[in-house]
Amino acid sequence: MRRRRIVLCGFGRVGQAFTTLLAERVAEIETRYGLHLELTAAVDIGGAAVASQGGLPLLPLLSHVREGGTVETFAGFGRPGMTGLEVMQEIPADVLVEATPTNLSDGEPGRTHLLGALEQGMDVVSANKGPLVLYYREIHELARRQGCGVYISAATAAALPTVDVGEVCLAGSHILAIEGILNGTTNYILSRMQSEGCTYEVALKAAQEQGIAETDPRLDVEGWDTANKLILIANRIWGTAFGPQDVTVEGITALTVEEIASAKQRGEVVKLIGRAEGGEGRHRLSVAPRLLEETHPLAAVHGSEKAISYLTDTMDRITVIGGRSSPLGAGAALLKDLINASRHKT
Protein backbone atom coordinates (compact mmCIF):
# COMPACT_ATOMS: atom_id res chain seq x y z
CA MET A 1 0.00 0.00 0.00
CA ARG A 2 1.53 3.29 -1.11
CA ARG A 3 1.02 6.19 1.30
CA ARG A 4 0.58 9.73 -0.05
CA ARG A 5 0.43 12.72 2.28
CA ILE A 6 -1.54 15.69 0.94
CA VAL A 7 -1.47 19.41 1.67
CA LEU A 8 -4.62 21.18 0.48
CA CYS A 9 -4.38 24.95 -0.02
CA GLY A 10 -7.80 26.55 -0.35
CA PHE A 11 -10.81 25.34 1.63
CA GLY A 12 -13.59 27.07 -0.26
CA ARG A 13 -16.25 25.32 -2.32
CA VAL A 14 -13.79 23.42 -4.53
CA GLY A 15 -11.51 22.45 -1.64
CA GLN A 16 -14.46 21.22 0.39
CA ALA A 17 -15.85 19.26 -2.57
CA PHE A 18 -12.46 17.57 -3.00
CA THR A 19 -12.28 16.75 0.72
CA THR A 20 -15.81 15.33 0.68
CA LEU A 21 -14.96 13.03 -2.21
CA LEU A 22 -11.73 11.96 -0.51
CA ALA A 23 -13.62 11.14 2.69
CA GLU A 24 -16.28 9.16 0.83
CA ARG A 25 -13.88 7.19 -1.35
CA VAL A 26 -10.71 6.70 0.66
CA ALA A 27 -11.43 3.00 1.26
CA GLU A 28 -12.36 2.41 -2.39
CA ILE A 29 -9.15 4.12 -3.51
CA GLU A 30 -7.12 1.85 -1.23
CA THR A 31 -8.79 -1.26 -2.67
CA ARG A 32 -8.81 -0.19 -6.31
CA TYR A 33 -5.50 1.63 -6.64
CA GLY A 34 -3.43 0.47 -3.67
CA LEU A 35 -3.14 4.05 -2.41
CA HIS A 36 -3.53 5.28 1.14
CA LEU A 37 -4.31 9.01 0.87
CA GLU A 38 -3.95 11.21 3.96
CA LEU A 39 -4.91 14.87 4.14
CA THR A 40 -2.03 16.08 6.29
CA ALA A 41 -2.98 19.76 6.24
CA ALA A 42 -5.76 22.05 5.04
CA VAL A 43 -4.85 25.71 4.58
CA ASP A 44 -7.12 28.70 4.11
CA ILE A 45 -6.91 32.47 4.39
CA GLY A 46 -6.73 32.57 8.21
CA GLY A 47 -4.39 29.69 8.89
CA ALA A 48 -4.28 25.91 8.73
CA ALA A 49 -5.40 22.65 10.26
CA VAL A 50 -2.40 20.35 10.56
CA ALA A 51 -2.03 16.70 11.57
CA SER A 52 1.54 16.07 12.69
CA GLN A 53 0.95 12.30 12.54
CA GLY A 54 -1.55 10.53 10.33
CA GLY A 55 -4.22 12.49 8.51
CA LEU A 56 -6.86 14.99 9.51
CA PRO A 57 -10.31 13.61 10.43
CA LEU A 58 -12.09 14.65 7.25
CA LEU A 59 -15.77 14.48 8.12
CA PRO A 60 -15.38 16.33 11.45
CA LEU A 61 -13.31 19.01 9.66
CA LEU A 62 -15.99 19.45 7.01
CA SER A 63 -18.73 19.63 9.63
CA HIS A 64 -16.77 22.21 11.60
CA VAL A 65 -16.35 24.48 8.57
CA ARG A 66 -19.94 24.06 7.34
CA GLU A 67 -21.18 25.05 10.77
CA GLY A 68 -19.32 28.36 10.48
CA GLY A 69 -15.88 27.41 11.75
CA THR A 70 -12.55 27.78 9.98
CA VAL A 71 -9.66 25.41 9.46
CA GLU A 72 -7.47 27.32 11.91
CA THR A 73 -10.09 26.98 14.69
CA PHE A 74 -10.50 23.21 14.22
CA ALA A 75 -9.97 21.85 17.73
CA GLY A 76 -6.76 19.92 18.23
CA PHE A 77 -5.41 20.72 14.78
CA GLY A 78 -5.83 24.47 14.19
CA ARG A 79 -2.78 26.67 13.56
CA PRO A 80 -3.95 30.31 13.25
CA GLY A 81 -1.88 32.43 10.86
CA MET A 82 0.08 29.52 9.41
CA THR A 83 0.59 29.91 5.66
CA GLY A 84 0.64 27.27 2.98
CA LEU A 85 4.36 27.78 2.43
CA GLU A 86 5.07 27.40 6.15
CA VAL A 87 3.05 24.18 6.24
CA MET A 88 5.03 22.67 3.37
CA GLN A 89 8.33 23.68 4.93
CA GLU A 90 7.41 22.22 8.32
CA ILE A 91 5.20 19.17 7.65
CA PRO A 92 6.42 16.26 5.48
CA ALA A 93 4.08 15.79 2.51
CA ASP A 94 4.08 14.28 -0.97
CA VAL A 95 1.46 16.20 -2.95
CA LEU A 96 0.08 19.74 -2.98
CA VAL A 97 -3.53 20.21 -4.03
CA GLU A 98 -3.87 23.90 -4.94
CA ALA A 99 -7.47 25.18 -4.80
CA THR A 100 -7.13 28.82 -3.81
CA PRO A 101 -9.08 31.40 -5.87
CA THR A 102 -7.67 32.21 -9.31
CA ASN A 103 -5.76 35.49 -9.38
CA LEU A 104 -4.89 36.61 -12.90
CA SER A 105 -3.06 39.75 -11.75
CA ASP A 106 0.00 38.19 -10.11
CA GLY A 107 -0.98 34.55 -9.56
CA GLU A 108 -0.74 34.74 -5.78
CA PRO A 109 -0.93 32.97 -3.43
CA GLY A 110 -1.06 30.05 -5.84
CA ARG A 111 2.33 30.80 -7.40
CA THR A 112 4.04 30.76 -4.00
CA HIS A 113 2.29 27.51 -3.09
CA LEU A 114 3.17 25.73 -6.35
CA LEU A 115 6.81 26.82 -6.37
CA GLY A 116 7.17 26.10 -2.65
CA ALA A 117 5.80 22.59 -3.08
CA LEU A 118 8.08 21.85 -6.02
CA GLU A 119 11.09 23.11 -4.05
CA GLN A 120 10.17 20.52 -1.41
CA GLY A 121 10.04 17.77 -4.06
CA MET A 122 6.25 17.48 -4.02
CA ASP A 123 4.01 16.76 -6.98
CA VAL A 124 1.38 19.46 -7.55
CA VAL A 125 -2.27 19.18 -8.56
CA SER A 126 -3.93 22.52 -9.33
CA ALA A 127 -7.41 23.89 -9.98
CA ASN A 128 -5.95 27.41 -9.94
CA LYS A 129 -5.41 28.84 -13.43
CA GLY A 130 -3.70 32.08 -12.38
CA PRO A 131 -0.11 30.97 -11.69
CA LEU A 132 -0.23 28.38 -14.48
CA VAL A 133 -1.24 30.98 -17.08
CA LEU A 134 1.15 33.68 -15.88
CA TYR A 135 4.19 31.58 -14.88
CA TYR A 136 3.86 28.37 -16.87
CA ARG A 137 7.51 28.14 -17.93
CA GLU A 138 8.87 28.91 -14.46
CA ILE A 139 6.65 26.30 -12.81
CA HIS A 140 7.32 23.57 -15.34
CA GLU A 141 11.07 24.14 -15.50
CA LEU A 142 11.28 23.85 -11.71
CA ALA A 143 9.13 20.71 -11.82
CA ARG A 144 11.44 19.20 -14.43
CA ARG A 145 14.55 19.96 -12.37
CA GLN A 146 12.97 18.49 -9.26
CA GLY A 147 11.55 15.42 -10.99
CA CYS A 148 8.02 16.35 -9.94
CA GLY A 149 4.70 16.20 -11.77
CA VAL A 150 2.33 19.10 -12.50
CA TYR A 151 -1.31 18.07 -12.99
CA ILE A 152 -3.78 20.66 -14.28
CA SER A 153 -7.03 18.92 -15.26
CA ALA A 154 -9.14 20.92 -12.81
CA ALA A 155 -7.77 24.19 -14.21
CA THR A 156 -8.52 23.40 -17.85
CA ALA A 157 -12.29 22.67 -17.75
CA ALA A 158 -12.93 20.88 -14.44
CA ALA A 159 -14.60 17.51 -15.04
CA LEU A 160 -14.17 17.61 -18.83
CA PRO A 161 -11.04 15.57 -19.67
CA THR A 162 -8.99 17.88 -21.89
CA VAL A 163 -5.24 17.40 -21.48
CA ASP A 164 -5.83 13.75 -20.54
CA VAL A 165 -7.20 13.02 -24.00
CA GLY A 166 -4.46 14.92 -25.81
CA GLU A 167 -1.57 13.53 -23.79
CA VAL A 168 -2.65 9.93 -23.23
CA CYS A 169 -5.28 8.91 -25.75
CA LEU A 170 -3.59 10.65 -28.70
CA ALA A 171 0.00 9.72 -27.87
CA GLY A 172 2.03 9.25 -31.04
CA SER A 173 -0.27 11.40 -33.16
CA HIS A 174 0.48 14.92 -34.36
CA ILE A 175 -2.18 17.25 -33.00
CA LEU A 176 -2.83 19.77 -35.76
CA ALA A 177 -5.54 21.82 -34.07
CA ILE A 178 -7.47 22.05 -30.83
CA GLU A 179 -11.00 23.43 -30.70
CA GLY A 180 -13.11 23.75 -27.61
CA ILE A 181 -16.21 25.08 -25.96
CA LEU A 182 -14.42 25.64 -22.68
CA ASN A 183 -16.83 27.91 -20.80
CA GLY A 184 -20.24 26.67 -19.69
CA THR A 185 -21.65 30.13 -18.99
CA THR A 186 -21.21 31.45 -22.51
CA ASN A 187 -22.48 28.23 -24.05
CA TYR A 188 -25.61 28.43 -21.90
CA ILE A 189 -26.22 32.03 -22.98
CA LEU A 190 -25.75 31.26 -26.67
CA SER A 191 -27.93 28.14 -26.40
CA ARG A 192 -30.76 30.21 -24.88
CA MET A 193 -30.43 32.87 -27.56
CA GLN A 194 -30.53 30.16 -30.23
CA SER A 195 -33.44 28.12 -28.88
CA GLU A 196 -35.66 30.91 -27.52
CA GLY A 197 -34.74 33.89 -29.68
CA CYS A 198 -34.04 36.01 -26.61
CA THR A 199 -31.51 38.80 -26.27
CA TYR A 200 -28.05 38.46 -24.76
CA GLU A 201 -29.20 40.45 -21.72
CA VAL A 202 -32.20 38.17 -21.07
CA ALA A 203 -30.09 35.01 -21.46
CA LEU A 204 -27.39 36.39 -19.15
CA LYS A 205 -29.94 37.24 -16.47
CA ALA A 206 -31.36 33.70 -16.67
CA ALA A 207 -27.84 32.28 -16.29
CA GLN A 208 -27.23 34.45 -13.23
CA GLU A 209 -30.55 33.48 -11.66
CA GLN A 210 -29.66 29.80 -12.04
CA GLY A 211 -26.19 30.29 -10.58
CA ILE A 212 -24.50 29.46 -13.88
CA ALA A 213 -23.10 32.97 -14.41
CA GLU A 214 -21.29 35.08 -11.83
CA THR A 215 -22.67 38.43 -10.67
CA ASP A 216 -19.73 39.94 -12.57
CA PRO A 217 -19.57 37.71 -15.67
CA ARG A 218 -16.91 39.62 -17.61
CA LEU A 219 -14.20 36.96 -17.41
CA ASP A 220 -16.61 34.51 -19.01
CA VAL A 221 -18.55 36.60 -21.53
CA GLU A 222 -15.54 38.59 -22.75
CA GLY A 223 -13.77 35.33 -23.60
CA TRP A 224 -10.87 35.38 -21.16
CA ASP A 225 -11.83 32.29 -19.17
CA THR A 226 -11.84 30.37 -22.44
CA ALA A 227 -8.52 31.96 -23.43
CA ASN A 228 -6.83 31.02 -20.17
CA LYS A 229 -7.94 27.40 -20.46
CA LEU A 230 -6.85 27.29 -24.10
CA ILE A 231 -3.40 28.59 -23.14
CA LEU A 232 -2.94 25.82 -20.58
CA ILE A 233 -4.13 23.07 -22.93
CA ALA A 234 -1.94 24.25 -25.82
CA ASN A 235 1.12 24.62 -23.61
CA ARG A 236 0.66 21.16 -22.17
CA ILE A 237 0.04 19.46 -25.52
CA TRP A 238 2.72 21.22 -27.57
CA GLY A 239 5.31 22.07 -24.89
CA THR A 240 4.95 25.78 -25.62
CA ALA A 241 4.85 28.68 -23.16
CA PHE A 242 2.06 30.92 -24.42
CA GLY A 243 0.62 33.66 -22.24
CA PRO A 244 -2.42 35.95 -22.43
CA GLN A 245 -0.58 38.26 -24.82
CA ASP A 246 -0.44 35.47 -27.41
CA VAL A 247 -4.20 35.01 -27.82
CA THR A 248 -6.62 37.13 -29.85
CA VAL A 249 -9.84 37.31 -27.84
CA GLU A 250 -13.39 38.34 -28.72
CA GLY A 251 -16.33 37.66 -26.44
CA ILE A 252 -20.07 37.31 -26.98
CA THR A 253 -21.37 40.60 -25.57
CA ALA A 254 -21.90 42.21 -28.98
CA LEU A 255 -23.90 39.34 -30.51
CA THR A 256 -27.46 40.26 -31.49
CA VAL A 257 -30.70 38.32 -31.74
CA GLU A 258 -30.67 38.98 -35.47
CA GLU A 259 -27.23 37.41 -35.96
CA ILE A 260 -28.25 34.29 -34.03
CA ALA A 261 -31.55 34.01 -35.95
CA SER A 262 -29.84 34.49 -39.31
CA ALA A 263 -27.37 31.71 -38.52
CA LYS A 264 -30.21 29.42 -37.47
CA GLN A 265 -32.04 30.00 -40.76
CA ARG A 266 -28.90 28.93 -42.63
CA GLY A 267 -28.60 25.74 -40.59
CA GLU A 268 -25.70 27.09 -38.51
CA VAL A 269 -25.12 27.72 -34.82
CA VAL A 270 -22.98 30.31 -33.07
CA LYS A 271 -20.55 29.04 -30.43
CA LEU A 272 -17.73 30.71 -28.51
CA ILE A 273 -14.78 28.64 -29.69
CA GLY A 274 -11.26 28.55 -28.35
CA ARG A 275 -9.01 27.41 -31.20
CA ALA A 276 -5.30 26.60 -31.21
CA GLU A 277 -3.71 25.80 -34.54
CA GLY A 278 -0.34 24.08 -34.85
CA GLY A 279 1.89 22.74 -37.56
CA GLU A 280 5.27 23.45 -39.13
CA GLY A 281 6.50 25.00 -35.89
CA ARG A 282 3.89 27.78 -36.01
CA HIS A 283 0.97 28.17 -33.65
CA ARG A 284 -1.97 30.55 -33.45
CA LEU A 285 -4.42 30.88 -30.57
CA SER A 286 -7.79 32.63 -30.78
CA VAL A 287 -11.11 32.91 -28.99
CA ALA A 288 -14.17 34.21 -30.84
CA PRO A 289 -17.82 33.47 -31.66
CA ARG A 290 -17.81 31.20 -34.71
CA LEU A 291 -20.44 29.92 -37.10
CA LEU A 292 -20.58 26.12 -37.10
CA GLU A 293 -22.53 23.91 -39.44
CA GLU A 294 -25.02 21.72 -37.61
CA THR A 295 -22.94 18.66 -38.56
CA HIS A 296 -19.89 19.95 -36.66
CA PRO A 297 -19.47 17.93 -33.43
CA LEU A 298 -19.27 21.09 -31.31
CA ALA A 299 -22.61 22.31 -32.68
CA ALA A 300 -24.34 19.61 -30.61
CA VAL A 301 -23.02 20.96 -27.29
CA HIS A 302 -25.99 22.55 -25.51
CA GLY A 303 -26.67 24.44 -22.30
CA SER A 304 -23.79 24.74 -19.85
CA GLU A 305 -21.96 21.69 -21.22
CA LYS A 306 -18.40 21.99 -22.53
CA ALA A 307 -16.38 20.10 -25.11
CA ILE A 308 -12.88 19.60 -26.52
CA SER A 309 -12.08 18.50 -30.07
CA TYR A 310 -8.64 17.47 -31.34
CA LEU A 311 -7.77 17.28 -35.04
CA THR A 312 -4.90 14.84 -35.61
CA ASP A 313 -2.89 13.47 -38.51
CA THR A 314 -3.54 9.79 -37.79
CA MET A 315 -6.69 9.54 -35.67
CA ASP A 316 -8.79 12.15 -37.49
CA ARG A 317 -11.01 14.24 -35.19
CA ILE A 318 -11.55 13.16 -31.59
CA THR A 319 -14.22 15.01 -29.60
CA VAL A 320 -15.25 14.72 -25.95
CA ILE A 321 -18.43 16.39 -24.69
CA GLY A 322 -19.73 16.87 -21.16
CA GLY A 323 -18.10 17.48 -17.81
CA ARG A 324 -19.82 18.95 -14.79
CA SER A 325 -19.36 22.71 -14.34
CA SER A 326 -19.51 22.91 -10.56
CA PRO A 327 -17.35 22.72 -7.45
CA LEU A 328 -18.06 18.98 -7.39
CA GLY A 329 -16.77 18.60 -10.95
CA ALA A 330 -13.61 20.55 -10.10
CA GLY A 331 -13.16 18.53 -6.91
CA ALA A 332 -13.54 15.31 -8.90
CA ALA A 333 -10.89 16.48 -11.37
CA LEU A 334 -8.52 17.20 -8.47
CA LEU A 335 -9.11 13.71 -7.07
CA LYS A 336 -8.56 12.15 -10.51
CA ASP A 337 -5.25 13.95 -10.92
CA LEU A 338 -4.20 13.07 -7.38
CA ILE A 339 -4.85 9.38 -8.01
CA ASN A 340 -3.02 9.42 -11.33
CA ALA A 341 -0.09 11.40 -9.88
CA SER A 342 0.20 8.89 -7.04
CA ARG A 343 -0.16 5.62 -8.90
CA HIS A 344 2.28 6.64 -11.65
CA LYS A 345 4.94 7.69 -9.14
CA THR A 346 7.88 5.28 -9.07
- Which residue among the candidates 129, 229, 306, 336 is catalytic per the annotation? 229
- Do 316 and 173 belong together in one domain? yes
For the cut 80, the answer to whether the pLDDT of residue 325 exceeds it is no
On whether both 14 and 80 belong to a single domain, the answer is yes
User: What pLDDT sits at residue 343?
Assistant: 81
Checking if the pLDDT of 18 tops 70, the result is yes
Higher pLDDT, 333 or 1: 333
Distance between start and end Cα atoms, the chain = 13
Residues 193 and 128 in one domain: no
Summarised one tens digit per residue, pLDDT across range 40-97 is 999 999 999 999 888 999 999 999 999 999 999 999 999 999 999 999 999 999 999 9
Q: Is the pLDDT of residue 295 over 80?
A: yes
What confidence tier does 157 reach under pLDDT thresholds 50, 70, 90? confident
Mark whether 11 and 153 lie in a shared domain: yes
Average pLDDT value for residue range 281-287? 89
Q: Can you tell me whether residue 51 is helix, strand or coil?
A: coil
Which residues have a Cβ under 8 Å from the Cβ of 73 and sit 6 or more positions away? Answer: 64, 80
> Do 231 and 104 fall into the same domain?
no
If asked whether residues 76 and 199 sit together in one domain, one would say no
Asked whether residue 232 carries a pLDDT value surpassing 70, the answer given is: yes
53 plus 138 within the same structural domain? yes
Indicate whether 315 pLDDT > 80: yes
CA atoms of 318 and 297, how far apart (whole Å):
9
Mean pLDDT of 293-307: 94
Annotated active-site residue 229? The verdict is yes
pLDDT at position 181 over 70: yes
DSSP string, 102-169: P-TTT-TTHHHHHHHHHHTT-EEEE--HHHHHHSHHHHHHHHHHHT--EE-GGGTTTTS--HHIIIII
Assign 214 a pLDDT band (cuts: 50, 70, 90). confident
Q: Percent of the chain scored above 70 by pLDDT? A: 98
Do both 104 and 235 map to the same domain? no
The answer on pLDDT for 346 being more than 70 is no
Looking at the structure, tell me whether residues 297 and 339 fall in a common domain.
no
Grade residue 326 by pLDDT with cuts at 50, 70 and 90.
confident
User: The CATH number of the domain where 40 resides is what?
Assistant: 3.40.50.720
Q: Are 271 and 301 found together in one domain?
A: yes
Q: What is the average per-residue pLDDT within 89-107? A: 96
299 contacts: CB under 8 Å, gap ≥ 6: 268, 269, 271, 292, 293
Q: Is the pLDDT of residue 324 over 70?
A: no
The proportion of the chain whose per-residue pLDDT surpasses 90, expressed as a percent, equals: 91
How far, in Å, CA of 305 to CA of 236, rounded?
23
**How many domains does one find in the chain?**
2
Q: Higher-confidence residue: 12 or 52? A: 12
Residues 175 and 278 in one domain: yes
- Quick one: 154 and 169 in the same domain? no
CATH number of the domain within which 284 lies: 3.30.360.10
- Residue 166 CA to residue 171 CA, distance in Å, equals 7
Lowest-confidence range among 68-77, 160-169, 196-205, 278-287?
278-287
Cα–Cα distance, 145 to 239 (Å, whole number): 16
Look at residue 280 and tell me whether its pLDDT is greater than 90. no
**pLDDT (average), residues 307-333:** 92
Domain hosting 278: range is 163-322
